[in-house]
Structures are given as structure tokens and as C-alpha cells.
């Protein structure tokens, strides 16, 4: 049983890596341009939502995180993250 789970994990792991959006990641809260050929289906919108959350967290961590010069409070961090997310 364990070998089956192991091989299934090995087999499907590379396919999951292809679903992640890697281009356009930044810590400045800048949304990268869209590729016009991509369909606007639920999978694409879900991917955009995950990317927006990642972008907002990266921005807040870089500029308002606990060990940064811009850190004021947890509330300021959350506000910066939410502004970027919006």
C-alpha cells in the first residue's frame, strides 16, 4: 500500500508544479500582465486569486513584516496586506 502511495506521489507531483504561476512574482504589489490567450474559466480565476494572495503576503512581509524597518504593528501589516489584495 505504501509503495502505491509513494509512486502516485512521484507520478503526480510534476503535474502539480505546472499549475503554479511563477512568472510575475514580486514584492512591490504589482500585478503582472495577463496573457490574452488564457481562457477566463474557474481554474484561471482561482489561480489568479491564489496569486493575488501570495503577492499581498510577499508585499506585506517585505515592507511591513516583523523584522523590517517598516514594522509598526500587526494591524499595520494586515492593513498593508489587505490594501495590496484589493
- What is the mean pLDDT, run by run of 10 residues, along the chain of 86 residues? 52 46 81 75 88 95 93 95 95
> Taking the model in full, what pTM does it have?
0.66
Residue 61 CB neighbours (<10 A): 16
* Res 66: pLDDT: 92
Instruction: Give dist(CA 7, CA 11) in Å, integer.
Output: 6
R_g of the chain, CA atoms, integer Å: 17
Instruction: Give dist(CA 58, CA 72) in Å, integer.
Output: 17
Instruction: Spell out the domain ranges in the chain.
Output: 41-86
Amino acid at each position: 500500500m505504501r509503495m502505491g502511495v509513494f509512486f502516485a506521489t512521484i507520478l503526480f507531483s510534476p503535474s502539480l508544479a505546472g499549475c503554479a504561476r511563477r512568472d510575475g512574482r514580486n514584492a512591490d504589489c504589482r500585478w503582472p500582465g495577463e496573457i490574452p490567450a488564457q481562457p477566463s474559466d474557474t481554474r484561471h480565476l482561482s489561480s489568479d486569486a491564489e496569486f493575488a494572495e501570495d503577492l499581498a503576503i510577499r508585499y506585506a512581509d517585505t515592507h511591513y513584516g516583523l523584522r523590517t524597518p517598516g514594522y509598526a504593528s500587526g494591524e499595520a501589516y494586515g492593513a498593508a496586506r489587505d490594501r495590496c489584495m484589493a
